[in-house]
Amino acid sequence: MNPNNPAVDREQAFWKIVLHRLELAASDPPLSRREAAELLAQLPPRRGAETVGDRIRRATAEARLPQRRDNVIYVNFRPLIAIQRLAADSGEEAPLPDPGRPLESADGRFRLSIAAVAGELRLTLEALGFAADDFAHRRLGVAAASACPASAMEQIVPLGSDAVIAQFTLNADGDGVCTLPDTPENRRVLLQPVIGLIEDDG
Amino acid sequence: MPIESELNVTGFRVTRTLDRLVYDLLLILRDTLSDPEVDLLHNQDDVENLELDVLELLSRPIYAKCLLWRDYHPTGETWHRFTTPRGDEKRVYDQAINYFYQLLRRPLGLAQNRKERPTNMHLLLQAGCRHGPAERGWPEVTIRRDHALRPGDPETDAFARTDEALSAQHQAWSEALASARDDPASTAPTIALRRHAEFGPLWLIVADYVAEIVPELSLFHDVLRTLPTPLPAAFAEDAEFQKRLQKVLETLNERYGLLRSCGLDPNRWWSVDALSVSVLKDIKALRQRVAQHGRDQPDKARAHAYETAFNTLKGGKSKFAGCATFSAFMETEVGHALLWGDYLPLPPADSVEDDDDAEDASDVSGSSPADPATAEWTSEEADRYIAQYAPLADDALMTRVVQVIFAGHTLDEPEILAELHRLIDQNDLHRRRFGKLPDHKLTKALCEHATALIQRAAPSPA
């Protein structure tokens, strides 16, 4: 507001409202049923109980995936949750989390502990609570968040086997351990890891 | 009938973005529900076609900016792009998907103060059903509570489709109740259950046909599947249907808008027990008060500003934002997130409307709530501003367009359209510019011309 001239402010506010209402009135009508049907035909076929919203998101996720290369072995990776880590200003390029403070997923289903031992990274994945029963004896993996867009969560993403840096078969308690080389690439993936289910083709 | 054909709006005024959404939904529903080929009850392709139409609509700039605008979190914006066979690019905004499935498909809960009255969603259904075939009694349909009524089935299969839709809703309602009983964290629709016990079930009554109807209905698709389609296109111009649709959208949108205004992500809807509408309104007021004193304060100063604002707003009341003290508020998840968390920013300072301030739409007895923006100017004052505004001086057509739009009317109302045609014919320049346009293009061209005139003026009011 302009305290020196409230009358001018008032008039300007009036014209601002007028312009907004003119913008509303000038907006185009919705698509006709025929136009909507044309757009619907651009979506991938429906899977099971998918909504049209799910299909739109899947179309985008599939379009973003890198093209398959012939000489790479792919795994069907179903991303479940990304773990957000707070950046620690330790001066290292890709620091590991404090060994005494395992990472926990925001949904409380997983805990991931990382320890550097003699040139290797030892990863322990624990499924917690009900998730322990859900994922017991299942194969899970850890991949980079950059390989799994947020819109691809819970959907199968074919990833090159090198993109899934760790694979675990959880035991009856929902726990699994995996060891991998302590390389800058693996450490970078662990800055924002995504935990996912590895599903068989069949 | 082409989707852009005129729609006479008498049940509400188009003054806010939400009103325009009601208008556009009326166009979509007219196109869908009057088509004898469409079967929303049995044909999933028809359902998806309708949903995609609404999603594309919600993704238009006017809605992305003014209805879903609170989603300007820098990392949260996603657009899905498609190219039609004709080469047009269409976009669907990810937040539009959330808005549709989280909000527009949500059953409308029963408000505490409705006592024995049905919800606006039931009254919307009733208004739509009254356009069903007269020979079967649809124009006299009623929806009301009654302890004594029992289901009645005439010896005809004329209502088999209605029966099928209502049965499916009953099954879904029973399953939801059962899961609420099994899950202690889930909140059962206690008001609906209490009203059912006090005043009896809700009944849909069409002549001899009497069937129980669930207490909480969704627009997409409980109501649409129950309507006796195909309906005559005139149903969309029924003032009662229009008014109920507007009330329904206001109620559904209220919580979304408040969550946004409080900086919370509406993708997490929160239960009413955890975060009631009145608590949300308090938190919104708190944020606005702190924002008046600067947004980017250091942590300590910000905490102090919140505490001062909390205590001022609480005044002599026993609680504010659901808490007796500021420290108790800070111990809540929302309080902590508000001060220290990754909350969404406040609305931009130049926002011209506040569409989360819906009136309690459960109150249907009174007239439509006055639009707060309109209420700030008397019609005499508005007419004076318009008459004195140089770019519109001596231009009767543009003056009238601005008057009509400011008053919340649409240019395709028959009397208004006739008047505009008359004014166009009286002016050679306007006749050359607008004279040959079909009506649906004329209204858009007039609004765009008026906008250009106002924006060109210096100093710009925009």
Q: What is the CA radius of gyration of chain A?
A: 25
Residue B353: pLDDT band by 50, 70, 90 thresholds? low
Retrieve residue B377's tokens.
Answer: 């100017």
**Among candidate residues A75, A69, A97, A71, the one with its CA nearest the CA of residue A84:** A97
Q: Which residues contact A31 (CB under 8 A, 6 or more apart)?
A: A39, B3, B53, B56, B57
Contact status, residue B231 vs residue B139, Cβ threshold 8 Å:
no
Chain B residue with minimum CA distance to A18: B406
B146-171 residue pLDDT tens:
988 988 877 778 899 999 999 999 99
**Among candidate residues B205, B218, B202, B220, the one with its CA nearest the CA of residue B121:** B218
Residue A93: pLDDT band by 50, 70, 90 thresholds? low
More confident residue, A1 or A95: A95
* Alpha-carbon distances, residue B60 vs A29, A179, B22, B89, B348 (angstroms): 10, 50, 14, 12, 19
More confident residue, B213 or A115: B213
- In B, which residues are within 8 Å of A23 by CB distance? 62, 447, 451
Retrieve residue B360's tokens.
Answer: 């309690």
pTM for the model stands at 0.75
| H-helix or E-strand spanning residue B206 | strand B202-206
**Among candidate residues A153, A137, A186, A171, the one with its CA nearest the CA of residue A61:** A153
The pLDDT value given to residue B316 = 87
- In A, which residues are within 8 Å of B31 by CB distance? 30, 32-33
- For the cut 60, the answer to whether the pLDDT of residue B94 exceeds it is yes
- For the cut 80, the answer to whether the pLDDT of residue B176 exceeds it is yes
> What order do you get walking across the sheet with B209-213 strand by strand?
B142-145, B202-206, B209-213
- In A, which residues are within 8 Å of B28 by CB distance? 30
More confident residue, A114 or B5: A114
| H-helix or E-strand spanning residue B191 | helix B190-199
More confident residue, B128 or A82: B128
Chain B interface, mutation test: which of A2, A10, A15, A86, most B Cβ atoms within 10 Å? A15
Residue B334: pLDDT band by 50, 70, 90 thresholds? confident
Residue B40: pLDDT band by 50, 70, 90 thresholds? very high
- In B, which residues are within 8 Å of A12 by CB distance? 461
A140-179 residue pLDDT tens:
999 988 777 776 777 777 787 778 899 998 998 899 999 8
A15/B385 Cβ within 8 A: yes
* Mean pLDDT, range A132-137, rounded to an integer: 89
Residue B144: pLDDT band by 50, 70, 90 thresholds? very high
A53/B51 Cβ within 8 A: yes
The pLDDT value given to residue B458 = 47
- For the cut 60, the answer to whether the pLDDT of residue B429 exceeds it is yes
Residue B338: pLDDT band by 50, 70, 90 thresholds? confident
Of residues B28, B443, B454, nearest to A18 (C-beta): B454
Provide the CA B84 distance to its chain's centre, in angstroms. 29
At residue B89, φ and ψ (nearest 5 deg) are -90, 130
Contact status, residue B6 vs residue B417, Cβ threshold 8 Å:
yes
Of residues A14, A33, A59, nearest to B49 (C-beta): A33
Tell me the pLDDT of chain B averaged across its residues: 83
The pLDDT value given to residue B403 = 93
Chain B residue with minimum CA distance to A36: B53
DSSP B29: H
Chain B residue with minimum CA distance to A19: B451
Q: Are strands A175-181 and A103-104 parallel, antiparallel or unpaired?
A: unpaired
Chain B residue with minimum CA distance to A34: B49
B405/A18 Cβ within 8 A: yes
* Mean pLDDT, range A88-107, rounded to an integer: 71
Annotate B353-389 with three-state secondary structure. Answer: CCCCCCCCCCCCCCCCCCCHHHHCCCHHHHHHHHHHC
A163-172, B123-132, B380-389, range with greatest mean pLDDT: B123-132
CA–CA separation, A67 and A158 (whole Å): 10
* Mean pLDDT, range B63-92, rounded to an integer: 73
- For the cut 80, the answer to whether the pLDDT of residue B345 exceeds it is no
DSSP B100: I
Chain B residue with minimum CA distance to A37: B49
* Mean pLDDT, range B234-245, rounded to an integer: 97
Name A167's bridge partners: A141
Q: Which residues contact A198 (CB under 8 A, 6 or more apart)?
A: A75, A76, A77, A78, A139, A140, A141, A164, A167
- For the cut 50, the answer to whether the pLDDT of residue A83 exceeds it is yes
The pLDDT value given to residue A10 = 78
A47-51, A164-168, B54-58, B159-163, range with greatest mean pLDDT: B54-58
Of residues B31, B60, B405, nearest to A33 (C-beta): B31
The pLDDT value given to residue B359 = 32
Burial code of B311-331, b = ≥16 C-beta within 10 A, e = fewer? eeebeeeeebbbbeebeebbe
Q: Which residues contact A66 (CB under 8 A, 6 or more apart)?
A: none
| Burial class of B332 by CB neighbour count within 10 A (0 to 12, 13 to 18, 19+) | middle
* Mean pLDDT, range A31-56, rounded to an integer: 91
- For the cut 80, the answer to whether the pLDDT of residue B50 exceeds it is yes
Report the range of poorest mean pLDDT among B57-66, B352-361, B427-436. Answer: B352-361
In the block, which residue shows the tokens 């929160």? B270
More confident residue, B335 or A100: B335
A21/B385 Cβ within 8 A: no
More confident residue, B411 or B288: B411
CA–CA separation, A38 and A164 (whole Å): 38
More confident residue, A199 or A141: A141
Q: Which long-range contacts (CB under 8 A, 24 or more apart) does B359-367 make?
A: B359/B250, B360/B111, B360/B113, B361/B120, B361/B247, B361/B248, B361/B250, B361/B251, B361/B254, B362/B111, B362/B113, B362/B114, B362/B119, B362/B120, B362/B251, B363/B113, B364/B117, B364/B120, B364/B123, B364/B247
A53/B55 Cβ within 8 A: yes
Chain A interface, mutation test: which of B3, B9, B401, most A Cβ atoms within 10 Å? B3
The pLDDT value given to residue B243 = 97
- For the cut 50, the answer to whether the pLDDT of residue A82 exceeds it is yes
Report the range of poorest mean pLDDT among A113-122, B316-325, B361-370. Answer: B361-370
> What order do you get walking across the sheet with A139-144 strand by strand?
A157-160, A74-82, A193-199, A139-144, A164-169
The pLDDT value given to residue A89 = 47
A39/B405 Cβ within 8 A: no
Annotate chain A with three-state secondary structure. Answer: CCCCCHHHHHHHHHHHHHHHHHHHHHCCCCCCHHHHHHHHCCCCCCCCCCCHHHHHHHHHHHHHCCCCCCCCCEEEEEEEEECCCCCCCCCCCCCCCCCCCCEECCCCCEEEEEEEECCEEEEEEEECCHHHHHHCCCEEEEEEHHHCCHHHCCCCEEEECCCEEEEEECCCCCEEEEEEECCHHHHHHCCCEEEEEEECCC
A158-172, B105-119, B144-158, B410-424, range with greatest mean pLDDT: B410-424
Contact status, residue B41 vs residue B50, Cβ threshold 8 Å:
no
Tell me the pLDDT of chain A averaged across its residues: 82
B313-325 residue pLDDT tens:
988 888 898 889 9
Min distance B13 CA to chain A CA atoms (Å):
11
Residue B302: pLDDT band by 50, 70, 90 thresholds? confident
* Mean pLDDT, range B248-255, rounded to an integer: 90
Min distance A183 CA to chain B CA atoms (Å):
29
ipTM: 0.84
- For the cut 90, the answer to whether the pLDDT of residue B139 exceeds it is yes
Report the range of poorest mean pLDDT among A104-113, A173-182, B329-338. Answer: B329-338
Of residues A38, A46, A56, nearest to B84 (C-beta): A38
CA–CA separation, B293 and B303 (whole Å): 12
Chain B interface, mutation test: which of A16, A28, A33, most B Cβ atoms within 10 Å? A33
The pLDDT value given to residue A68 = 58
* Mean pLDDT, range B425-453, rounded to an integer: 92
The pLDDT value given to residue B373 = 45
The pLDDT value given to residue B361 = 32
Residue B66: pLDDT band by 50, 70, 90 thresholds? confident
Min distance A196 CA to chain B CA atoms (Å):
22
**Among candidate residues A39, A49, A43, the one with its CA nearest the CA of residue B53:** A39
- Percent of chain B surpassing pLDDT 70: 85
